[in-house]
């Protein structure tokens, strides 16, 4: 259905462009009319042709995805050694300090458990839900005639232990404060894990941001595998309680524990009505493949601080209620975001934020989001290749305070404002710590190939760039009857730029004179 929609929309854009330019049916290349209105020349910029070879880039190679399968996950499960199941007080447990420490947080569990709070601990080996039901009192963990399990206490998978939820349904009681902490290995295969409201005998849909809802969290040094499963109605607005999270321990705890980064595979699963569909902090080698993240409250997919080498591929992210579909933020580097469909989210489709560098964003379909299609904030040295960015409410691709951004073969059509918009801004947000999130008010980009057509204001706008390089960019179907109308510094030198780019079919470099002098030094 989406491909038919794209084809129809592209045809409409082509027909409108043909009517506006009078050239599409002629069968010969032509240049749309240029706005010849006199504008003051920008004396501190040069417009020159550059060798095409300097902008030539091989199509990027994607990571091999063949090993991330259900069979590969099954092969990682060690069933030999049976584990132990015990009840312990939540106090003085390393894995639970985040939830029972200061600010009177223990009171939440005292109120919900109606006494000194306890948790279920799995230790020493392999345990499944049937084992938990046999070992625990029914008031804490029970199974119905339909084989549906209900946990009424938090569950902790200890270091060296494995919990396997396989072809089963686990309900986590909201009223009694149940949640699931992994400090070992967690496998969820062909199963359902649902935050559950016992009073209504229904999933625990979000009512208030700060109201407790069950959640899953895997700490540093853990492995988490979720395959062909459904996770729903999890998470709320509390630290590390976002829904489905992988997180390193706090710096003070990890100085002592020295745990490696958490890792996980989420494959062919569905995540619905989570506070964050997925969140990670200082994680490594996480794979999100073939999942659906829908109706998340704040973000669909949100890898955060210093997470590295992530693969986010072949997912659908839609219906995020407050903010973005996919956002990587604060030094999330060396990662791949490709072949995803991101649409109908309340703000941008994809965001790279706060010094997230050396990432590849390729062959994604980003459409009908209510802000930008793709947004970069203070994140340099990233490559965008072959993305289809269509019908988003604001800009197709927006860059702020980011340099060396390479945009190759992207199809950016029918967005509300500019096709590509680059700008600088001095940030005054008091919440931003300049030591944690340094940035320069500079922007530069390279655009090669692709199409910028039918966008609401201009195909391309860039204010005060260090440099911009253009080659083979198709802007032949403008969204305005006046023809191509560039903005910012490009508008001031539009005649020269189009002469080189369109008429002579050369690669063009527009550069700040001071920038060029600095490069020569």
Residue 67, token pair as written in the block: 């090993």
CA–CA separation, 127 vs 31, rounded Å?
69
Residue 97, token pair as written in the block: 């300090």
Q: Measuring CA to CA, how many Å separate 152 from each of 140, 175, 243, 355?
A: 5, 8, 17, 42
Q: What is the DSSP string of 218-252?
A: E-TT-EEEEES-EEEEE--SSTT-SEEEEEPPPHH
* Tens of each residue's pLDDT in the chain, 521 residues: 444 444 434 433 443 343 333 333 223 233 333 333 333 344 589 999 999 999 999 999 999 999 999 999 999 999 999 999 999 999 989 999 999 877 778 898 999 999 999 999 999 999 999 999 999 999 999 999 888 999 999 999 999 999 999 999 999 999 999 999 999 999 999 999 999 999 999 999 999 999 999 999 999 999 999 999 999 999 999 999 999 999 999 888 888 999 999 999 999 999 999 999 999 999 999 999 999 999 999 999 999 999 999 999 999 999 999 999 999 999 999 999 999 999 999 999 999 999 999 999 999 999 999 999 999 999 999 999 999 999 999 999 999 999 999 999 999 999 999 999 999 998 876 667 788 888 999 999 999 999 999 999 999 999 889 999 999 999 976 655 555 778 878 888 999 999 999 999 999 999 998 655 444 43
* Bridge-based pairing state of the strands 276-281 and 299-304: parallel
CA–CA separation, 493 vs 34, rounded Å?
12
Residue 486, token pair as written in the block: 């560039």
Q: Which residues are catalytic?
A: 304
Cα atoms in the Cβ-side hemisphere of radius 13 Å centred on 418: 18
Give the closest residue to 377 by CA, choosing from 323, 440, 431, 435. 440
CA–CA separation, 88 vs 122, rounded Å?
10
Total residue count of the chain as it appears in this document: 521
Domains, the chain, in order of start with CATH, read 1-65+372-425+434-521 (no CATH), 84-262 (2.160.20.10)
Contacts of 518 (CB under 8 A, 6+ apart): none
Q: CB of 448 within 8 A of CB of 407?
A: yes
Helix (H) or strand (E) holding 18: helix 2-21
Residue 352, token pair as written in the block: 């790279």
Give the closest residue to 115 by CA, choosing from 177, 180, 181, 201. 177
Q: CB of 379 within 8 A of CB of 354?
A: yes
Contacts of 29 (CB under 8 A, 6+ apart): none
The whole-model pTM stands at 0.90
Give the closest residue to 226 by CA, choosing from 301, 155, 286. 286
Which residue's entry shows tokens 């692709």?
A: 450
Q: What is the DSSP string of 155-172?
A: EEE-TT-EEEEES-EEEE
């Amino acid at each position: 259905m989406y491909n038919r929609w794209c084809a129809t929309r592209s045809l409409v854009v082509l027909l409108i462009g043909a009517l506006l330019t009078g050239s599409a049916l002629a069968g010969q290349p032509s240049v749309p009319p240029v706005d010849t209105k006199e504008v003051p020349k920008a004396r501190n910029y040069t417009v020159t042709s550059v060798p095409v070879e300097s902008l030539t880039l091989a199509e990027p190679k994607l990571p091999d995805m063949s090993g991330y399968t259900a069979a590969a996950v099954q092969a990682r499960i060690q069933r030999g050694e049976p584990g132990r199941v015990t009840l312990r007080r939540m106090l003085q447990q390393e894995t639970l300090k985040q939830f029972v420490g200061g600010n009177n947080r223990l009171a939440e569990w005292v109120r919900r458990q109606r006494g000194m709070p306890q948790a279920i601990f799995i230790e020493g080996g392999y345990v499944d839900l049937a084992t938990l039901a046999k070992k625990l009192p029914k008031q804490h963990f029970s199974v119905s005639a339909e084989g549906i399990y209900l946990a009424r206490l938090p569950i902790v998978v200890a270091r060296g232990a494995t919990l396997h939820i396989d072809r089963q349904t686990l309900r986590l009681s909201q009223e009694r404060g149940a949640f699931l902490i992994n400090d070992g290995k967690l496998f969820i295969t062909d199963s359902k894990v649902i935050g559950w409201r016992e009073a209504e005998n229904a999933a625990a849909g979000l009512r208030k941001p700060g109201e407790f809802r069950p959640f899953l969290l895997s700490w540093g040094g853990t492995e988490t595998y979720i395959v062909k499963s459904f996770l729903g109605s999890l998470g709320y607005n509390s630290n590390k309680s976002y829904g489905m999270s992988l997180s390193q321990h706090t710096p003070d705890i990890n100085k002592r524990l020295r745990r490696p980064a958490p890792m996980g595979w989420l494959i062919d699963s569905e995540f619905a009505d989570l506070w964050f569909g997925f969140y990670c902090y200082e994680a490594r080698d996480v794979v999100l493949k073939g999942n659906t993240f829908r109706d998340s409250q704040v973000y669909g997919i949100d890898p955060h601080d210093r997470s590295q080498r992530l693969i986010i591929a072949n997912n659908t992210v839609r219906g995020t209620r407050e903010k973005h579909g996919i956002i990587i933020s604060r030094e999330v580097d060396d990662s791949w975001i490709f072949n995803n469909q991101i649409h109908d989210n309340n703000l941008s489709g994809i965001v790279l934020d706060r010094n997230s560098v050396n990432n590849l964003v390729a062959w994604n379909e980003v459409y009908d989001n209510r802000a930008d299609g793709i947004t970069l904030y203070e994140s340099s040295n990233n490559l965008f290749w072959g993305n289809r960015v269509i019908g988003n409410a604001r800009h197709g691709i927006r860059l702020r305070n980011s340099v060396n951004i390479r945009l190759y073969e992207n199809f950016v059509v029918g967005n509300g404002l500019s096709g590509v918009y680059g700008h600088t801004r001095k940030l005054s947000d008091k919440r931003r710590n300049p030591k944690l999130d340094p940035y320069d008010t500079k922007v530069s980009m390279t655009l090669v190939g692709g199409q910028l057509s039918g966008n609401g204001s201009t195909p391309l706008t860039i204010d005060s760039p260090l440099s911009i390089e253009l080659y083979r960019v198709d802007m032949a179907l403008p969204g305005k009857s006046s023809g191509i109308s560039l903005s910012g510094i490009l508008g001031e030198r539009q005649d020269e730029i189009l002469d080189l780019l369109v008429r002579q079919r050369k690669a063009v470099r527009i550069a700040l004179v001071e920038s060029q002098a600095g490069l020569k030094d």
